[in-house]
Amino acid sequence: MIQLERITFHYEKHLPLFEEFSWQVARGQSWAVIGPSGCGKSTLLYLLAGLQHPQQGTLRINGEALNAPRPSTGLILQDYGLLPWSTVRQNVRLGLALRKFYGPDGKHTPAAGVPPQQEKAVDQWLERLGIAAIAEKFPGQISGGQRQRTAIARTLLLEPDLLLMDEPFASLDTPTREDLQQLVHTLAAERPLTTVSVTHTIDEALFLGEKILVLKNGGNRAPLVLENPFSGQGTQQSEPAYQALTARIREALRESA
């Protein structure tokens, strides 16, 4: 699904965040990416989304070199990315409106129209994510959890095969965060969806990723990957194996700072 082959990336006048860095993600896997601030977690997502490009090396998705954003990649940000002047329904439908203009291949080939089944899917996603009752409200009138549910609905409506999430639950209270973590995990398990989630908390990494990529400051060369048997399990914190893996991640984070 994802192949990074000896990529190097740096921002102007800064040291490289990635130096000849190689990493692979198989189709349908769920990954969590964790590391200290400034290590390149969000940059990695922007590279995968086609919003940034490596100075060297090759990045492929489904065997094709990534030179621009692809329509089948969904990106969910911490700040939700909602239009404040549009209702929940209009925000959910936004992706369909953009696809109508650019076409399903994303190459500025206008489509004839939005298929009726996709219009119907808007209502289905509003119902599925529990936001149908607030469909005509504006983002400023709803809670943070409801705004994030709107962003998730807007993304999944377009049926992506790759879902990228940049600390999407960081600003939410604990019950809402745990509820949305479970929702995303359930939705990803229901469809052939590959997920890469950036997080700054160990517990969230252990819940969201069956594999955990630990990044470090000072340039990432060889990826540190930890296998996680506790993905999707929110009640294992007292198990010795869970505590041992938590300690291993914490140690890796100290070494990477």
Q: Concatenated DSSP letters for 11-36?
A: -TTS--SEEEEEEEE-TT-EEEEE-S
Read off φ and ψ for residue 251, nearest 5 degrees. -65, -45
Spatial CA neighbour of 24 closest among 253, 248, 216, 222: 222
The per-residue pLDDT for range 199-237, each reduced to its tens digit, is 989 999 999 999 999 999 888 999 999 999 999 876 667
Q: For residue 143, what pLDDT is reported? A: 92
pLDDT digit string, tens, across residues 35-67: 998 899 999 999 999 999 999 999 999 999 998
- Which tens digit of pLDDT belongs to each residue from 181-204? 888 888 888 877 999 999 989 999
Neighbours of 166 (CB within 10 A): 21
pLDDT at 115: 57
pLDDT band at 126 (very low <50, low <70, confident <90, very high): very high
Q: What is the pLDDT of residues 159-181, one digit of tens each?
A: 899 999 998 888 788 888 888 88
pLDDT in tens, 233-249: 766 677 888 999 999 99
Angle ∠(161,166,167) on CA atoms, nearest 5 = 130
State the Cα–Cα distance between residues 191 and 184, nearest whole angstrom.
11
CA angle 89, 90, 96 (to 5 degrees): 105
Please identify which residue in the block is written with the tokens 């969806």.
193
Are 110 and 102 within 8 A, CB to CB? Answer: yes
- pLDDT tops 60 at residue 125: yes
**Hunting for tokens 């949305």 — which residue is that?**
180
User: At 105, is the pLDDT very low, low, confident or very high (cuts 50, 70, 90)?
Assistant: low
pTM listed for this prediction: 0.88
> What would the two tokens of residue 151 be?
């962003």
Q: Rounded CA gap, 76 and 154, in Å?
A: 9
For residue 30, the cross-strand partners are: 195
pLDDT of residue 257: 66
- Give the three-state DSSP class for 101: helix
DSSP H helices, 106-227, are 116-128, 144-156, 174-190, 202-208
Neighbours of 201 (CB within 10 A): 14
> Which residue would you say has higher pLDDT here, 178 or 150?
150
User: Alpha-carbon distance 197 to 155, whole Å?
Assistant: 14
